[in-house]
Amino acid sequence: MKISEFKGSFFEIGKQQGAIYKKNGMSFNTVKIDPVLYKNQHAVYKKHYPQLLDEFKGMAQGGNFDEEKLIYYFITGEIFYFKNEFRLDKACTIFGYKKGNNVYVGRNYDWLPETENIFEVYKAMNPEVNSFIAVTDMGISNPATAKPKYFFYNTDDAINSKGLFIGLTFAYLDQWSYGISCIHMTKLIAENCETVKEALEVFKKTPLCCPKNFFIADKNGDMVVVEHAAKKFKILYPKENILIQTNHYVDEELAKKDIVFKQVPFHNTCIRYYETLQKIQFEKRTFSRESISKILNRKGSYTCQNFPGIKTIWTLALDMTSKKYKIYWDLSRSKKSKELSI
């Protein structure tokens, strides 16, 4: 597995990525700007994440793209996706287990089978913020976009140099708001936070545009789930040292508004939740980082998915306390793995 590296300021990293996008054939010529959406979204980013606007300006220069169209594309893309493709069956599983002083996090990223040949791991080393390593599905939203000209380095999962992990799962709620996108939230927190407590402060002051769930853990042994409904969020804490998030809201208030089974009646989110809980119970007495693969990678389970239209693309097995991180992929065939370091 080749790991790409981006180094420098926000503008310089953007410039490096923009050059790659240009080489891949990316174009913004057909982008049509909605002036109201652009005005409101730009105001949010200018207030809460102006550094990312600098990164986008670097992308425009690196790829010789129209700057305004590029910025519009990236700061409004999740809202457009949410409005037009909400019924897609996106499904992931993340859990944490605390044994003594050690906290372990396991993560399955489940998405389109085409993603298996596309996803990448990359490092961002910016002296202005925390360095981090990220795993990305390269931004594909449907099989038609599984082509290089559509790829970009989003941040689905991130582990930073301070020992903090943040990853996301899809949530089902029919509302959105002006705010930053989920992939930009994971990036913002990876760049600026060392602890779960600091990450929660970011959520308190930074609006999110669309519903998502976030799993956050740090090297000190703290972990939470933020169930975000775009206009409000709830925080879940471990029970008996276990914390699990799939694709349904667990918080009682948000659960009343959850529409996962209205949108996708056959969704397996609850099956995966309780399957993960059961497997953790089997491993509790001898739990180690290797237990994560046993829990998440058993072929034929609902947790390790290999169904028409959806597949487990990668697994993260993280020992947060010892700062030891591993990724597994090619799970339905030869099952490859690699240690990750920041």
Q: Are 106 and 164 in contact (CB under 8 A)?
A: no
The token pair that represents 99 in the structure block? 């044994």
The token pair that represents 92 in the structure block? 């992931």
Picking from 219, 211, 163, the residue whose alpha carbon sits closest to that of residue 185 is 211
Q: Which tens digits make up the pLDDT trace of 205-243?
A: 999 999 999 999 999 999 999 999 999 999 999 999 999
Tell me the percentage of the chain whose pLDDT exceeds 70: 99
Q: Which tens digits make up the pLDDT trace of 195-206?
A: 999 999 999 999
* C-alpha distance from residue 91 to each of 11, 37, 186, 246 (Å): 33, 28, 18, 7
Cβ-proximal residues to 232 (8 Å cutoff; 6+ apart), any chain? none
Domain segments of the chain as ranges: 3-84, 93-340
Q: 3-state SS string over the chain? A: CCEEEEECCHHHHHHHHHHHHHHCCCCCCCCCCCHHHHHHHHHHHHHHCHHHHHHHHHHHHHHCCCHHHHHHHHHHHHHHHHHHCCCCCCCCEEEEEEECCEEEEEEEEEECHHHHHCCEEEEEECCCCCCEEEEECCCCCCHHHCCHHHCCCCCCEEEECCCEEEEEEECCCCCCCCCECHHHHHHHHHHHCCCHHHHHHHHHHCCECCCEEEEEEECCCCEEEEEECCCCEEEECCECCEEEECCCCCCHHHHCCCCHHHHCCCCCHHHHHHHHHHHHHHHHHHCCHHHHHHHHCCCCCCCCCEECCEEEEEEEEEECCCCEEEEEECCCCCCEEEEECC
* C-alpha distance from residue 171 to each of 213, 250, 261, 289, 290 (Å): 6, 11, 11, 27, 28
pLDDT of 84 reads 77
- Pairing label, strands 120-125, 3-7: parallel
Cα–Cα distance measured from residue 216 to residue 210, given in angstroms and rounded to the nearest whole number: 18
pLDDT of 83 reads 80
pLDDT of 140 reads 93
- Pairing label, strands 310-319, 93-99: unpaired
Chosen CATH of 93-340 out of 3.90.1640.10, 1.20.1440.230, 3.60.60.10, 3.40.50.300: 3.60.60.10
Cα–Cα distance measured from residue 264 to residue 249, given in angstroms and rounded to the nearest whole number: 15
pLDDT of 315 reads 98
Q: Is the dihedral of CA 135, 141, 146, 147 positive or negative?
A: negative
Mean pLDDT of 274-281: 98
* C-alpha distance from residue 230 to each of 21, 80, 233 (Å): 30, 15, 7
Q: Which tens digits make up the pLDDT trace of 50-102?
A: 999 999 999 999 999 999 999 999 999 999 888 876 555 678 999 999 999 89
Mean pLDDT of 294-305: 95
pLDDT band at 148 (very low <50, low <70, confident <90, very high): very high
Q: Which tens digits make up the pLDDT trace of 244-275?
A: 999 999 999 999 999 999 988 999 999 999 99
Taking all residues of the chain, what is their mean pLDDT, rounded to a whole number?
Answer: 96
pLDDT of 279 reads 98
Cβ-proximal residues to 147 (8 Å cutoff; 6+ apart), any chain? none
Q: Please name the residue that has the structure tokens 């996090």.
A: 105
pLDDT of 89 reads 65
